[in-house]
Amino acid sequence: MKRNTRVRFLTEAAMIAAGYTVLTLLAMMLNLAYGPVQFRFSEALTVLPVLTPAAVPGLAVGCLLSNLWSSMGALDIIFGTAATLLAALTTYMVRNIRVKGIPILAPLPPVLFNALIVGVEITIVSPGGFVFPAFLANALSVGLGELAVCYVLGLPLLVALEKAMGAYKNGRGVSH
């Protein structure tokens, strides 16, 4: 990897990590970032591995930093970050699956990994420990919040960014 390529990769990853962290902290101030009902605005960024592989470590680091504020402590730092890393890697792997030019599957991995892993996490720390009906309720709650953010905010963000990047590459977005 050439030096300029490495610098660009690290810069993109750092910007994504910072954006994810800031957006999660904003959701935290609105009491939407942690617990069984989550609506992290930052999860809209989980579609970015479609555009750049730098998003994979960027999202993982951003999630790790964000989870330093989680009431679940080390459990969320480890498993919440793992969920985001697995989702980012999977999103990168499905980036070329498109329906009418739209990477329709890109938002799905974060929904699934967070519903399952964070659903287990929340259930374990709840009074009574792991009970399957409680896990289903938690997974559904986390999954629905994730679904809303990833598809309602993330997919349109991805489509807009791809359009803007296409215009830029074709010289229509560059001032002369």
**Model confidence over 135-154: pLDDT tens digits?**
999 999 999 999 999 999 99
Looking at the predicted structure, is the pLDDT value of residue 110 above 60? Answer: yes
Q: What is the pLDDT of residue 149?
A: 97
Lowest mean pLDDT among 61-65, 77-81, 128-132, 149-153: 128-132
- Global confidence as pTM: 0.92
Is the separation of the CB atoms in 24 and 33 below 8 Å? Answer: yes
Measured distance CA(99)–CA(168) in Å, rounded: 23
Is the separation of the CB atoms in 158 and 52 below 8 Å? Answer: no
Measured distance CA(132)–CA(50) in Å, rounded: 34
Residue 74: Cβ within 10 Å count: 9
> What burial class does residue 163 get, using C-beta atoms within 10 Å of its C-beta: 0-12 exposed, 13-18 middle, 19+ buried?
exposed
Measured distance CA(33)–CA(23) in Å, rounded: 9
Q: Which of 80, 106, 111, 81 is nearest to 93 (CA)?
A: 106
Quick check: helix, strand or coil at residue 35?
coil
Q: What is the pLDDT of residue 171?
A: 67
Six-digit token pair at 88? 């980012």
Q: What is the pLDDT of residue 176?
A: 40
